A = this chain, B = another copy of it.
Amino acid sequence: MATGSDAKPKLGATKDRILTSTLALFNERAPDRVTTSEIARSVGINEGNLYYHFKTKEALVLALFKKFESEAVDLVQASARSTSTEIGVYSGFLRDWFSLVWNFRFLFRDLSALVASAPSLTEPIKAVSSGMQSAVRHMINQMMQAGFISVPEKEQEPLLANVWIVSTYWAVYLGLQEGVVNLKEEHLGWGLNQVSSLFRPYLSGEARDALDSMLNR
């Protein structure tokens, strides 16, 4: 995304290539079940070289989390700035967040294991999660003011929690129940629909139509 001279865009710096390969592997299987030798092989370098770039396996996890974190922060900030009452904005945010979680899904597969293997992540993870919550809360409030949605006071917090839970774990369900082994991008629509259906009962007719047209895209 900022390589001095992009004459040979085929391969980035080794460090970047390592991160790319590692992310793919971690998304496939939990980090504990991906060995450093496997990572090295998939990058096409030697294991010793891998350790030159990242002194420990945990450093890899940390580096990947940093990338996720910065993207998440961008997203939340963008949504905080937005004051548009355009209906598409809300579904757009949902879609972006959704896609981000998907790209870094290894982080969410077993959060407690993740934190156990990299304790320094405890607070950052909590922070991102809270930030996302506030963003959704903000979004819902704006939608309520615009008359797109109407959620009884007492049901708001449970709804928020469920949005978080479903947007994080729909992929696991799909993998298990439908027997989908290698989840691909096209399954993202399924998950998006699951999260949307949490909101649907509370939507106005107009908002429901907008949501449906977004889902059909």
Given contacts A116-B29, A177-B129, contact A162 B166 (CB under 8 A): yes
State which of B158, B164, B193 has its C-beta within 8 Å of the C-beta of A197. Answer: B158
Chain B, Cβ-Cβ closest to A169:
B169
Binds B, one of A42-50, A58-66, A198-206: A198-206
Chain B, Cβ-Cβ closest to A133:
B177
The contact sample of 17 A-B pairs, CB cut-off 8 A, is A30-B110, A32-B32, A109-B110, A109-B113, A110-B113, A111-B175, A112-B176, A129-B177, A133-B177, A155-B201, A159-B197, A161-B170, A162-B166, A162-B194, A166-B166, A168-B169, A169-B172
The answer to whether B111 and A197 have CB atoms under 8 Å apart is no
A159 to B201 alpha-carbon distance, docked (Å): 11
Residue A56 at the B interface, CB < 8 A? no
Residue A130 at the B interface, CB < 8 A? yes
Given contacts A126-B179, A202-B201, contact A158 B111 (CB under 8 A): no
Q: Which 8 A-B pairs have the closest CB atoms?
A: A201-B201, A158-B197, A110-B110, A169-B169, A165-B173, A165-B169, A30-B113, A165-B166
